[in-house]
Structure 1
Amino acid sequence: MKNFLLLASFCFFLHQGSILAQDWAQLGVFREVNKKISMTSSTERVVFFGNSITIGWLHTMPSFFEDRPFINRGIGGQTTPQMLVRFRQDVLDLHPKVVIILAGTNDIAGNTGPMTLDDILGNLKSMSELAKANNIEVILCSVLPASDYPWRPGLEPDKKIPALNAMIKEYTEQASLHFLDYYTAMVNDINGMDKDLAYDGVHPTKAGYEIMAPLALEAIAKAIKTAN
């Protein structure tokens, strides 16, 4: 029985790996639904672009996205190189007024291989430059706190995330972009998040998103004002 379970697990991960090998950036996730969105530019359309924290917002607090011109394009587990590959399809081609990018924690976790902080920032810069070249206002978010990753312990995100956030903030100031600081509002005394804000120390609960929501709305309002 034990050997059977091991074989079944191996086959599952082999299958998943095969899928990712054929669509590494997961362009297929939103390809069809994107076709149903009007390609005309919206005066206030905003794309939320990110990983599981972004798509989790839609699932955990759907009311935030109701009756607003917000489009959620988060994919669980993604890293910045994957996001950069799908940036044209899932952001540029939707012609938003603003893109709000929240990414980097999965890079630190090594989800698609080793990444330096400079690598992560470089991908965020590339996405930002593509957006600006297409007259889209950019909001770069601080990475949310994490004292450790339950699925890959020992990678010191409690040290790396604050360092990356400082780099992101500095870049937004240099490039005249908007910086959205979730980190300061959610961090605890061990550079993580309490369980009431993140059930596993990484992914926000409804209470966590309720802290993020007004901060996002304020940043979006400023970005739209800048664009106009």
Structure 2
Amino acid sequence: MKKYFLVLFVLIFTSCHKPVSTTTDLPWVPDYALDRSEKTILEFEKKDAEKMPAAGGIVFAGSSSFTKWQSAATDLAPLPIINRGFGGSTLPEVIYYADRTILKYHPKTVVIYCENDMFGEKKKTPEQVRDAYVTLVKLIRKSDPDVALYGVSLKPSPSRWDKKDDVIKANMLIQDYIKTDKKHHYIDVWPVMLKNGRPDGSIFVSDSLHMNDEGYRRWIQVFKPILQKTA
């Protein structure tokens, strides 16, 4: 009998942690391990075990620009922010972990920001980035057809300015897709991040990629009035 319950426990535990997608669901086969951020995801789950966020919140999903926005919940209060961005992530990884970082919270709103796909060893085209974004959105929509979605423009960064044309094209392709869904909206951060037509270096830290407090202050000015409309 003890052996039976042990087997049952293992099966339940495994099913609870089974990723919602496999590589067959992705628009391309990644050349990296999709579970390379497992440690971070486990930290999220540890926090949830201590205090599970209430359903109907606003989930931030994506990469390090969200990860490093540690004060997002305070900055955007009283909006119920659940920040589940994890650093270095790509869209295939966000898709892979969607059940554990997005869907489990039964959010009213999901905000997506992920900019790394075009900057890895095997850089993806703007079209591939759009396709991965579409895959993620369809996955979320399958779970909750009525959830409000926001796609944030890939930001202009000094360290990646040489790829600005690809970034601009990816943003345009994603924006065109967003326009096909009345419950899906585009958040454009470019206007508050440029100075004389180039990224404003004063709002970035020394790596010229991630933002400092002033950069996030500008994001707050953009995000808060937009997200309050669906709160």
One-letter code of the match for 1:109?
Answer: F
Which of 129, 139, 142 is matched with 2:138 structurally?
Answer: 129
- Give 1:118's aligned residue: 127
1:158-169 alignment, distance < 5 Å: 158-169=164-175
Contact persistence 1:131–1:137 (CA under 8 A): no
2:67 to 41, 55, 60: 55
SS of 1:24's equivalent in the other structure is coil
Work out whether residues 64 and 88 of structure 2, in 8 Å CA contact, stay in contact via their aligned partners in 1: yes
The 1:96/1:22 distance shift into structure 2, 3 A limit, reads: closer
Structure 1 unmatched runs, 5+? 1-19, 150-154
Q: Are residues 1:212 and 2:219 paired?
A: yes
Are 2:112 and 1:98 equivalent residues in the alignment? Answer: no
Distance change >3 Å, CA 140–CA 22, structure 1 → 2: closer
Maintained 8 Å contact 1:48/1:73: yes
Instruction: Assess, with a 3 A threshold, how the Cα gap between structure 1 residues 131 and 180 changes in structure 2: closer, same or farther.
Output: same
Structure 1 distance, partners of 2:186, 2:54, is 27
1:196 counterpart residue number: 202
Tell me the equivalent position of 2:117. 107
Please report the TM-score for the alignment, with normalisation by the length of structure 1: 0.75
SS in 2 for 1:203: coil
Aligned length in residues: 194
Secondary structure of the 1:148 match is: helix
Deviation track 1:117-140 (CA, whole Å, cap 9, x = no partner) reads 222111211222222331321000
What SS does the corresponding residue of 2:201 show, helix, strand or coil? coil
Following TM superposition, by how much is the alpha carbon of 1:157 offset from its aligned partner in structure 2, in angstroms? 2.1
Distance of 1:190 and 1:162 partners within structure 2: 13
CA distances 1:177-205 after superposition (whole Å, capped 9, x unpaired): 110001222123454x2221112332111
Q: Which residue of 1 aligns with 2:35?
A: 23
Q: CA RMSD in A?
A: 2.4
Counterpart in the other structure of 2:97: 86
Unaligned runs of 5+ in 2: 1-31
| Letter in structure 1 aligned against 2:61 | F
Q: CA deviation at 1:31?
A: 2.7
Aligned mates of 2:83, 2:132 — CA distance in 1: 20
Distance between the aligned counterparts of 2:63 and 2:165, measured in 1? 21
CA positional deviation for 1:68: 3.9
Using the TM superposition, give the Cα deviation of residue 62 of structure 1 relative to its aligned residue in structure 2, in angstroms.
6.5
Is the counterpart of residue 34 in structure 1 residue 48 in structure 2?
yes
Check conservation: 2:178, 2:186, Cα contact below 8 A: yes
Aligned residue type for 2:101: D
Give, in angstroms, the shift of residue 71 of structure 1: 0.8
SS at match of 1:57: coil
Give TM-score, length-normalised by structure 2: 0.74
Residue from 54, 58, 62 that aligns with 1:46: 58
In the alignment, the residues of structure 2 paired with residue 182 and residue 141 of structure 1 have an alpha-carbon distance, to the nearest angstrom, of 7
Partner of 1:71: 82
Task: Find the residue that maps to 1:100 and give its secondary structure.
Answer: strand
Measure the CA separation in 2 of the matches of 1:131 and 1:201: 32
Secondary structure of the residue that 1:196 maps to in structure 2?
helix
Quote the offset at 1:211 in angstroms: 0.7
User: d(CA) in 2 for partners of 1:189 and 1:158?
Assistant: 15
